């Protein structure tokens, strides 16, 4: 065997040793990592407890404030509960493309509920055409039913809006809305479920 053949044979053996060793390490490491990933996906996200919400019947009646359990689920449970587009927006703080969802004001009276937990969020009477391509409202149905937090993504300072019943991301609020509030609650359509008003 020539010196070149010996070198090539050694290089092949070294390559195989490295590849097999790396594969074994990956198998062991992956075996150790898999339970952690599974546990993380199945660990509830958020802090359990009660939250004070204003409860509304489907006929629009305000049933008053009530302490209700906050909906706290694992990532795996959220994925099962929500359609894929809603999951991406509501649990990963996304934003749907403008004009891609249903942003037209309903022709009938009703209210918009959270897609994730059915908390009442907006009365259809407060929806207006903002020209932005997202459902826009000048106020929530009850201030306690939504939460606000500062959002610094994309180098802008905005105010993000979440559902108080489950901490799911809904959209943002801006100071360029119509009277009487001057606010524009710019929501993602996949985060909302419209319920037509029923007879009380």
- Structure confidence at residue 7 (pLDDT): 45
The reply to whether 4 and 90 lie within a common domain is: no
CA distance linking residue 143 with residue 106, whole number of Å: 22
Residues known to be catalytic: 186
148 neighbors 157 (Cβ within 8 angstroms): no
At 9-64, the pLDDT tens digits run 445 555 445 555 555 444 445 555 555 444 455 666 778 899 999 999 999 999 99
Residue 187 is part of which domain span? 50-196
The reply to whether 60 and 141 lie within a common domain is: yes
Higher pLDDT, 136 or 156: 136
The reply to whether 131 and 58 lie within a common domain is: yes
- Structure confidence at residue 25 (pLDDT): 44
φ and ψ at 137, to 5 degrees? -135, 150
Higher pLDDT, 95 or 6: 95
Q: What is the CATH number of the domain that holds 107?
A: 2.170.150.20
pTM of the predicted model as reported, rounded to 2 decimal places:
0.77
Can you name the residues that pair with 189 across neighbouring β-strands? none
The reply to whether 82 and 174 lie within a common domain is: yes
The reply to whether 54 and 34 lie within a common domain is: no
Task: Count CB-CB contacts under 10 A for residue 161.
Answer: 23
The reply to whether 32 and 102 lie within a common domain is: no
The reply to whether 97 and 154 lie within a common domain is: yes
- Structure confidence at residue 199 (pLDDT): 72
**CB neighbour list of residue 16: distance below 8 Å, 6 or more residues apart:** none
The reply to whether 54 and 27 lie within a common domain is: no
CA distance linking residue 110 with residue 115, whole number of Å: 15
At 189-200, the pLDDT tens digits run 999 999 999 876
The reply to whether 31 and 58 lie within a common domain is: no
Is it the case that residue 161 has pLDDT exceeding 60? yes
The reply to whether 28 and 58 lie within a common domain is: no
**Number of structural domains in the chain:** 2
The reply to whether 27 and 58 lie within a common domain is: no
Average pLDDT over residues 130-157: 92
Average pLDDT over residues 66-86: 98
């Amino acid at each position: 065997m020539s010196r070149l053949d010996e070198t090539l044979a050694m290089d092949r053996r070294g390559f195989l040793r490295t590849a097999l060793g790396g594969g074994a390490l990956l198998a062991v490491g992956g075996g150790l990592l898999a339970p952690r990933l599974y546990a993380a996906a199945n660990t509830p996200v958020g802090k359990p407890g009660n939250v004070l919400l204003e409860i509304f019947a489907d006929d629009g009646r305000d049933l008053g404030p009530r302490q209700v359990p906050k909906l706290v689920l694992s990532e795996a449970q959220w994925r099962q509960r929500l359609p894929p587009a809603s999951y991406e927006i509501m649990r990963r703080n996304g934003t749907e493309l403008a004009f891609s969802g249903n942003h037209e004001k309903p022709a009938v009276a009703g209210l918009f509920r959270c897609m994730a937990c059915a908390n009442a969020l907006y009365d259809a009477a407060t929806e207006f055409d903002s020209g932005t391509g997202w459902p826009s409202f000048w106020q929530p149905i009850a201030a306690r039913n939504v939460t606000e937090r500062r959002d610094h993504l994309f180098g802008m300072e905005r105010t993000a809006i979440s559902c108080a019943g489950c901490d799911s991301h809904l959209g943002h609020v801006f100071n360029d809305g119509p009277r009487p509030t001057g606010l524009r609650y710019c929501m993602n359509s996949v985060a909302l479920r419209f319920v037509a008003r029923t007879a009380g």
